[in-house]
Structure 1
Amino acid sequence: MKTYYIDVANFSLNKFGEELCGDNVEVVTTEDGLIVVMSDGLGSGVKANILATLTSKIAITMLKEGATIEETIDTITNTLPECQVRKLAYSTFTILNIRNNGEVYMVEYDNPPVFFYRGGREGSLFKKERQINNKVIYETNFYMGENDMLTIVSDGAVHAGVGQLLNLGWQWEHINDFLKNLVNKEKTSENICRHLLEVCKNLYDDKPGDDTTVVTIKLKKAEYLNIFTGPPKKKEDDTILINAIKNCVGKKVLCGGTTANIVSSALKKPITIDMENYNPEVPPMGYMEGIDLLTEGLLTLNKTKDILSIYLEERKNKKLPSPIEGNDGATKLSRMLIEDGSHIHIWVGQAVNPAHQNPLFPSEFNLKMKVVKELVEILKSLGKIVEITYL
């Protein structure tokens, strides 16, 4: 059975003047896929944040432990009763359980309908209406295939611009038209979310009148990215390095002058240095036929780690990450790690570089090893599947 890599991203805008977002998204990995819950709490600020967080935490915890949707909604209903003044649910939600084979079970309650695109075109979903604890929900069972996309938004998106640039807000149909143009242009879920939220922010004139959240899920085939850094510990193992480069699947990145020279000599491929895209903080890149990116070693990897660390911190704080812009080696490698690799294999040569450490020190003091380990943890936090091989 065909399996996919599930590319999921979510970002939010807080209502203007509020420090906390009244929407909350929870994503948890299961044995065979993901569960995603997006909840929108009534109102805004602290109260809405607590309500949305409770709803999403209850739902994702119960569903992961095998509870039925009836049990889950019953628990949410009894925990968060209706507002007696406005006769509205304290929290709305969309629940998505997606497996690696593309099988999807979805429940929607009072959030805007999801946006679904199959084969780059708008797709239709058959939704079954059910009533559980006096709440009308819509259930959907369907399959997603390669490059199919599903986007969930809170009502802050469809209200964007109300009373300002647009009399009636952006409206579902307009967002649908916008996404239809994006689905074939943007490769990652993250970029889809970013573009959509940036438009919402502009329509609100940088002062969102409601909490606004976007969640996007795309199914992709596995994308492999191989990074080779440092020569092997034993000179006779250079052939292992060369064979790994020849036979690995996916994109190939060489990090380190010594590594590049070994490969250049063995494959008889010359190296040219790029002095145009120069950044004082990062040594110049190089080019070699058959290699997707060639950079210096430790300084470039450390700068890459710093760029991705800031990027991850913005995501953890549910801020809209700034685009990673630039043409130096570290910036290019950072973009490749985010956009071009779902499965990342790092091949680490253990030869000691006297410039990086005292040869008398144990290997755990090796600066390159330390940077690689920190980079691996960041990549895993970004949802990447990472493998390390020591040479």
Structure 2
Amino acid sequence: MSFFIDAAYGTLKKYGEELSGDIVNIEKLEDCTIIILADGLGSGVKANTIASLTSRIASNMLKNGANMYETVDAVANMLPVSATRKIPYSTFTIIKIYNNGQTYIAEYNNPSIFAMRNSKSININMNEVNINGKLIKESTLFLQEDDLLTIVSDGVLHAGLDNVLDFGWQREDVENYLTRKNCNTLNVQALNKDLLNACLNLYSYKPGDDTTVASIKVIKPSVVNIFTGPPENKKDDGIFIEKFMSSKGKKIICGGTAANIAQRELKRNLKVNLDFLDTDLPPTATMDGIDLITEGVLTLKAVVETLKKYLDTSYEKMDYIYSNNKNGADALLKILLEECTHLNLWVGKAENPAHRNLNLPTGLNSKSQLVKRLSNYMKALGKEVTINHI
């Protein structure tokens, strides 16, 4: 089976520093995903520079065909050792996950990876190998559907040190925290933000070290289709709807005009939901064969603004999207974040004159601009996006 590798990361900078000494690089290739966490010695500019160099060299070598041994050898031996502290100037974790679940992990002086299966911790057998004088921990394994890997920098294990905890957040404490989470129902962005939030609280909102979390989840591919905006020529309505409905995956309609087109062409009843009233967004609607129907511009604007927050790797607090949706934007966000790996956007090019009267800020009253932002944000979240115009 071919899996989709969902990955996200976030960082809390050391209090008082402008740059983080932790660098994460995620590269999605055709047959695999590469995740690298490099932790530069100390913090600030120097740490950021050496960590960036470590991450960039490893990423470029793997993308250009070097095998894992060659990459680990080159990176480990590039790094000098501090003459005073006798530790390397950068530590790193490199993970390469193929789409069939085959996984290689290499760790050099970083905290050991956390692995979860069915919300329970599983042990990864790591072998210690000597690569030109550098001791590297490595492992090869096959991941299963819904397995979760969590990589952390040592700032996570230092959280609360000499503050609320005498010895910091011990590894078993972090492991217990992760097992208490229902990892099968939360997306990787939410899992990441949640763990970072816990660290921020332990640091009393003044992190004493750069603190980074990267979460990787192995999931089944899941397609979502969104139809928004009428076609440029009305005669194409039927063709567009036929293509939209024949595509595999969930079906979502954003916009009253698009919903009316579907109602007419499919000859199905359209019913407005009046179960709740939201003062900010129009109500949703239902139709046989359609998973979700929302209003267009205002709903898409709310969605892209929330996705922007998810993408801010330094954003420290997050209201998660749960199943008790308050409005159409929440419902759409839940699907995009938790049930979507491949997004097909079906975008009609006709302009809706009503949008000119919404008095939204420049650039936000254009549905085409919102669709572009949605596409860019979903790609940045690691999703595969296709746009179909008509």
Q: TM-score, normalised by structure 1?
A: 0.88
Give the whole-Å Cα distance in 2 for the aligned partners of 1:197 and 1:305.
22
Q: 209-218 or 302-311, which moves further after superposition?
A: 302-311
* Matched residue SS, 2:385: strand
Tell me the equivalent position of 2:82: 83
- 2:328 alignment counterpart: 329
| 3-state DSSP of counterpart to 1:283 | coil
Q: Which residue matches 1:361?
A: none
Instruction: Give 2:200's aligned residue.
Output: 201
Amino acid at match of 1:6: I
1:180 — aligned with what? Answer: 179
TM-score, structure 2 length as denominator?
0.88
Q: In the alignment, which residue of structure 1 is the partner of 2:213?
A: 214
Contact 2:309–2:315 (Cα < 8 Å) also in 1: no
Q: Which residue pairs with 1:146 in the alignment?
A: 145
Quickly say closer, same or farther: Cα 1:93–1:183, change in 2 above 3 A.
farther
Does residue 269 of structure 1 match 2:263?
Answer: no
Give SS of 2:104's match. strand
**SS at 1:294's partner residue?**
strand
- The aligned residue for residue 191 of structure 1 is 190
- Evaluate the alpha carbon distance shift between residue 60 and residue 245 of structure 1 in structure 2; reply closer, same or farther with a 3 A threshold: closer
1:5-61 deviations in Å (ceiling 9; x for gaps): 110011111112222112111111223111111011111222222222121112111
User: Are 1:102 and 2:101 matched, yes or no?
Assistant: yes
Report whether the alignment pairs 1:278 with 2:278: yes
Alignment check: 8 A CA contact 1:264 1:271 kept: no
Within 5 Å, give how 1:1-391 maps onto structure 2: 2-244=1-243, 246-265=245-264, 266-274=266-274, 276-280=276-280, 282-312=281-311, 314-315=312-313, 318-320=314-316, 322-323=318-319, 327-355=326-354, 367-391=366-390
Evaluate the alpha carbon distance shift between residue 70 and residue 230 of structure 1 in structure 2; reply closer, same or farther with a 3 A threshold.
Answer: closer
Structure 1 residue 174, shift from structure 2 partner:
1.4
* Contact 2:115-2:148 within 8 A present in 1 as well: yes
Compute the displacement of 1:89 (Å): 0.9
The letter of the residue matching 2:89 is Y
Q: Structure 1 residues 370 and 132 mapped into 2: Cα distance closer, same or farther (>3 Å)?
A: same
Cα distance 1:133–1:113, how it changes in 2: closer, same or farther (>3 A)?
A: same
- Report the CA distance shift for 1:169/1:347 in structure 2 as closer, same or farther (over 3 A): same
Shift of 1:377: 2.4
Match of 2:362 in 1: none
Quote the offset at 1:204 in angstroms.
1.4
The change in CA–CA distance for 1:3 and 1:77 in structure 2 (over 3 A counts) is: closer
Provide, for residues 116-142 of structure 1, a one-character-per-residue CA deviation record: whole Å limited to 9, x for no partner. 123443222222210113211111111
Give the Cα–Cα distance (whole angstroms) in 2 for the partners of residues 297 and 350 of structure 1: 14
The separation in 2 between residues aligned to 1:211 and 1:81, in whole angstroms, is: 21
Cα distance in 2 for residues equivalent to 1:203 and 1:377:
34
**Contact 1:311–1:321 under 8 Å retained in 2:** no
Over the matched positions of the two proteins, sequence identity in percent amounts to: 44
SS at structure 2 position matched to 1:129: strand
SS in 1 for 2:141: strand
Secondary structure (helix, strand or coil) at the match of 1:292 reads strand
Aligned to 1:363: none
Structure 2: tracts of 5 or more residues without a match = 357-364
- Quote the Cα distance in structure 1 between the aligned partners of 2:18 and 2:351: 48
Amino acid aligned to 1:291: I
| CA drift at 1:275 | 7.5
Q: Which residue of 1 aligns with 2:359?
A: none
Task: Say if 1:72 and 1:268 are closer, same or farther in 2 by CA, change over 3 A.
Answer: closer
Give the Å deviation of 1:304.
3.1
Tell me how far apart the structure 1 counterparts of residues 369 and 105 of structure 2 sit (CA, whole Å).
42
**Cα pair 1:121 1:180 within 8 Å, conserved:** yes
Q: Secondary structure at the match of 2:56?
A: helix
SS state at 1:389 partner: strand
Distance 1:132 1:285 in 2: 59
Over 3 Å counting, the alpha-carbon distance change for 1:309 and 1:197 in structure 2 is: closer
Which piece of structure 1 moves more, 98-107 or 39-48? 39-48
Question: Retained in 1: the 8 A contact 2:118–2:184?
Answer: no
Shift of residue 241, structure 1, vs aligned partner: 4.1
Report the counterpart of residue 360 of structure 2 in structure 1: none
Residues of 2 paired with 1:151 and 1:268: CA distance?
A: 46
Q: Distance in 2 between matches of 1:371 and 1:92?
A: 40
Q: Distance in 1 between matches of 2:348 and 2:76?
A: 56
**Structure 1, 331-340 or 196-205: larger mean CA deviation:** 331-340
For 1:221 and 1:23, the matched residues in 2 are separated by 30
Contact 2:39 2:92 in 1 (8 A): yes
Contact 1:183/1:192, CA 8 A, preserved across alignment: no
Tell me the distance in 1 between the aligned counterparts of 2:16 and 2:288.
Answer: 53
Superposition CA RMSD, Å: 2.5
1:296-351 CA-partner distances (Å, limit 9, x unpaired): 22343344334434543x23xx4346336683333443343223211111112344
Tell me by how many angstroms 1:220 deviates. Answer: 0.6
Q: Distance in 1 between matches of 2:343 and 2:308?
A: 17
More displaced stretch, 195-204 vs 116-125: 116-125
Aligned residues: 378
Greater alpha carbon shift after TM alignment, 32-41 vs 66-75: 66-75
